[in-house]
A and B are shown apart, each in its own frame.
Chain A
Amino acid sequence: GDSVTQMEGPVTLSEEAFLTINCTYTATGYPSLFWYVQYPGEGLQLLLKATKADDKGSNKGFEATYRKETTSFHLEKGSVQVSDSAVYFCALKVGGAGGTSYGKLTFGQGTILTVHP
């Protein structure tokens, strides 16, 4: 079956530090890959996505590149801010409206990021 593995947290950084959160996956088909962010007390928000190999998703200074050869989609940011403190989820989706997957997302366990001033 499909699965996503994220680096275990929590991750604690100082402001302006470099961030990497590792994510690897296994999938039965050709997945789309996503990073979602969950701020305290909120639901999940899409941070970025990539739909095919070598695509780079980016948003709010975060980047992730779809690496098919290593089945990875690591999240990076060059300089984190206190406001980036949240839980980050890597996810994959195989298929769309039809077939047997109905566009469902398979999530990793989440990585808690805390950024100190």
Chain B
Amino acid sequence: ETGVTQTPRHLVMGMTNKKSLKCEQHLGHNAMYWYKQSAKKPLELMFVYSLEERVENNSVPSRFSPECPNSSHLFLHLHTLQPEDSALYLCASRLATGRNTEAFFGQGTRLTVV
């Protein structure tokens, strides 16, 4: 248990569905991240929020829409996804006031797009 909780753990959705992934931390962290983990590929950083402001968007398609309503919660809204979007989506958080502070990861949401 790292203190970062992701829900749901597993999600199967059709290409026309709309769903949301949720990440929650009560560690007092102020930076949150979404990563995508696909088979046989390095983890890909998708979005970074620092102090509730999106500071990085790594050329992610618009069918992925992040939201950070407060420093404890991060969402990833999904719509009209493609089968190649099937992956493990990992949320991480850290205290962004120190150079060497550790990032804590959630257990991930295993997404399957059918």
Contacts and interface: CB of A to CB of B under 8 A. Distances in A.
A108 B40 CA distance: 10
Nearest to A107: B43
A105 to B, nearest CB: 6
Given A43-B108, A102-B96, A103-B94, A109 B2 contact: no
A110 B96 contact: no
Interface stretch (A20-28, A66-74, A89-97): A89-97
Nearest to B103: A105
Contacts of A42: 107-108
Contacts of A36: 105
Interface in B4-28: 4, 6
Contacts of B102: 46, 49
Contacts, number: 72
A17 interface: no
Contact of A96 (B55, B90, B98): B98
B42 interface: yes
A109 B43 CA distance: 7
Contact of B42 (A45, A103, A104, A108): A108
Nearest to B45: A104
A46 B103 CA distance: 8
A102 B55 contact: yes
A105 B45 contact: yes
B33 A44 contact: no
Contact of A97 (B2, B97, B103, B105): B97
A115 to B, nearest CB: 21
Interface of A: 4, 32, 36, 41-46, 49, 51, 89, 95-97, 102-110
4 A-B pairs with the lowest CB-CB distances in the bound complex, closest first: A96-B99, A97-B96, A43-B105, A107-B43
